[in-house]
Amino acid sequence: MTSFAAAGRSALGSFHPFLRLERLLRDHPAGDHGLPGVKGPIQLQVGDPKNAPPAFLQECLQKNAAGWGSYPPPRGTADYREAAADWLTNRFALPANFIDPDRNILPVPGTREGLFFTIMMAIPGPGEGEKRKVLLPSPFFHVYAGATAAAGGEPVFVPARAETGFMPDYAALPKEVLEKAALAILCSPSNPQGAIADAAQMRDVITLARQHDFLAIFDECYSEIYLDQPPLGALQSAAEFGSLDNLVVFHSLSKRSSAPGLRCGFVAGDARWIDRVDGAMRFGGAGVPLPALAAGASLWRDEVHVERNRDYYRESFVMAERLLGNRLGYRRPGGGFFLWLDVGDGEAATVKLWKEAGIRVLPGAYMSAEDERGDNPGAPYIRVALVYDAAFNEAALRLLLDTLEV
């Protein structure tokens, strides 16, 4: 991943983790997993929800189908912004009117698109200043690094290892690095480790952002998939400070409501940055269509389907804990739906699982960056997505363990 930063825009696609995975496996035929009634390989590499969204989603889309004939409104609808603001206020126990639906909320077509444009906007262009460093956790969601490379930013990969609770310690960075930072990103619950930032970690990132005048981006797209306690949100820490200065928070319906194809989420936070992202999206963003906005507002206003969704994933993690115990460095994640398993050599294990059992997982090295010593914090790991029902996940996980002979 050091070469990722050097390659920049021209070779951006070649460093995409799933393109790398395709290249790794393309010359190896898939093994026979032997699971009855299962056709094709076992796809555990991607976080693509398999449980159905609530039935009223389709009903709402059909009811508002006339909206497909109009271009998406740049800042969405008042109803959608109000639904998002009300959900944030209730979910994170925010003070009344802390979130202004018109100034602090911007609908985006999923967090991925919004993150990409926000990162692009936060990095100064040529002649616009020297604050070009981007503070990123390692491992990381690939869009963080992709947008940084596309904008010509300078990534500073901060390891998120077990010793730091699988969270990056930005406060430990030298002052000269912090002074040149354009932005920092914190993902909680984290992808892939499922770690949850505590209040002190949230406050530290916000404090650093305000002291050194950079944008703090909090990616909270997994906040509603948790096992025990609801994760804290950055807006709760912002409310303690009394303002939204220097921060934005991303939320999406993809995981919360099992609706990744809807492409519907929002960014909330500092009104100055909401305006900037809005301006960028008007040039290159697709926007959120009117039927999706109507359906999205209904989803944000309903918690029943979200509780059922949590139970769906919780059942698989109870199974995984029983099956794995303390093998492969298993730890009970706080949120999300991934296992982050220490197999010694993630690439080698990925090839073995594919060739011998037809199981596709993602090498941890493809989500991480090498440091100056050539050490990649994700290299020993594989990421395994538990997105199927618990019975299928158990059969797949047993096969994985047998193949790796753990």
Checking if the pLDDT of 22 tops 90, the result is: yes
In tens, the pLDDT along 45-56 reads 999 999 999 999
pLDDT in tens, 156-188: 999 999 999 999 999 999 999 999 999 999 999
Q: What is the pLDDT of residue 371?
A: 81
Residue range 29-49, pLDDT digits in tens: 999 998 988 889 999 999 999
pTM, two decimals, is 0.95
Q: In this model, does residue 75 exceed pLDDT 50?
A: yes
Task: Please give the pLDDT value at position 115.
Answer: 96
In angstroms, the Cα distances linking 288 to 106, 188, 256, 285, 370 are 10, 25, 18, 9, 37
Q: Which two tokens stand for residue 273?
A: 């940055």
**Domains assigned to the chain:** 2-53+305-404 (3.90.1150.10), 55-303 (3.40.640.10)
SS3 at position 170: helix
pLDDT in tens, 136-156: 999 999 999 999 999 999 999
Which residues are within 8 A (CB) of 329 and not within 5 positions of it... i.e. 6 or more apart? 162, 340, 341, 342
Q: How far apart are CA 133 and CA 178, in angstroms?
A: 8
Q: Give the H or E element holding residue 296.
A: helix 290-300
What is the pLDDT at residue 395? Answer: 97
Provide the pLDDT for residue 10.
58
Amino acid letter, 371: D
Helix (H, G, I), strand (E, B) or coil at 347: helix
Q: Is the pLDDT of residue 366 over 90?
A: yes
Residue of 253, 301, 259, 296 lying closest to 91 (CA atoms): 301
- pLDDT value at residue 289: 97
Q: Model confidence at 6, in pLDDT bands (50, 70, 90)?
A: low
Band (pLDDT 50/70/90 cuts) for residue 284 is: confident
pLDDT confidence band for 126 (50 / 70 / 90): confident
- C-alpha span between 362 and 367 (Å, rounded): 9
Please report where in the chains the tokens 């594919």 appear, as a residue: 354
Please, are residues 253 and 299 in contact by the beta-carbon 8 Å criterion?
Answer: yes
Looking only at the bridges linking them, the beta strands covering 265-269 and 247-252 are antiparallel
CA 163 to each of CA 56, 160, 168, 231, 279: distance values in angstroms, whole numbers, following the listed order:
44, 8, 10, 20, 40
In the block, residue with structure tokens 């009811």: 63
Residue 45 confidence (pLDDT)? 97
Residue pair 259/53 in contact by the 8 Å Cβ criterion: yes
Contacts of 272 (CB under 8 A, 6+ apart): none
Mean pLDDT of 358-384: 94
Instruction: Give the pLDDT confidence score for residue 127 in this predicted structure.
Output: 80
d(CA 401, CA 391): 16
Query: Within 13 Å of residue 363, how many CA atoms lie on the same side as its CB?
Result: 26
Determine what percent of the chain is predicted with pLDDT higher than 90: 89
- Beta carbons of 337 and 120 less than 8 angstroms apart: no
Going edge to edge, which strands form the sheet with 265-269?
A: 105-108, 265-269, 247-252, 215-219, 181-187, 133-138, 154-159
Query: Contact 248/274 with Cβ under 8 angstroms?
Result: yes
**pLDDT tier at 128 (50, 70, 90 boundaries)?**
confident
Helix (H), strand (E) at residue 216: strand 215-219
pLDDT at 223: 98
Question: Using CB atoms within 10 A of its CB, is residue 360 exposed (0-12), middle (13-18) or buried (19+)?
Answer: buried
Ramachandran angles phi, psi of 276, nearest 5°: -65, -45
The share of the chain scoring above pLDDT 70, in percent, equals: 96
Confidence band, pLDDT 50/70/90 cuts, at residue 374: confident
Instruction: State the average pLDDT for the chain.
Output: 94
In this prediction, residue 1 carries a pLDDT of: 39
Burial class, 37, CB count within 10 angstroms (exposed 0-12 / middle 13-18 / buried 19+): exposed
- Is residue 181 packed enough to be buried (19+ CB in 10 Å), middle (13-18) or exposed (0-12)? buried
Q: Strand 359-360 relative to strand 42-43: parallel, antiparallel, unpaired?
A: parallel
pLDDT value of position 2: 44
Residue 4 has pLDDT above 90, yes or no: no
Kindly report the number of other CB atoms within 10 A of residue 92's CB atom: 22
Joined together, the tokens standing for residue 85 give: 């603001």
Supply 113's token pair. 């698109």
Residue 303 has pLDDT above 90, yes or no: yes
Q: What is the pLDDT of residues 230-278, one digit of tens each?
A: 999 999 999 999 999 999 999 999 999 999 999 999 999 999 999 999 9
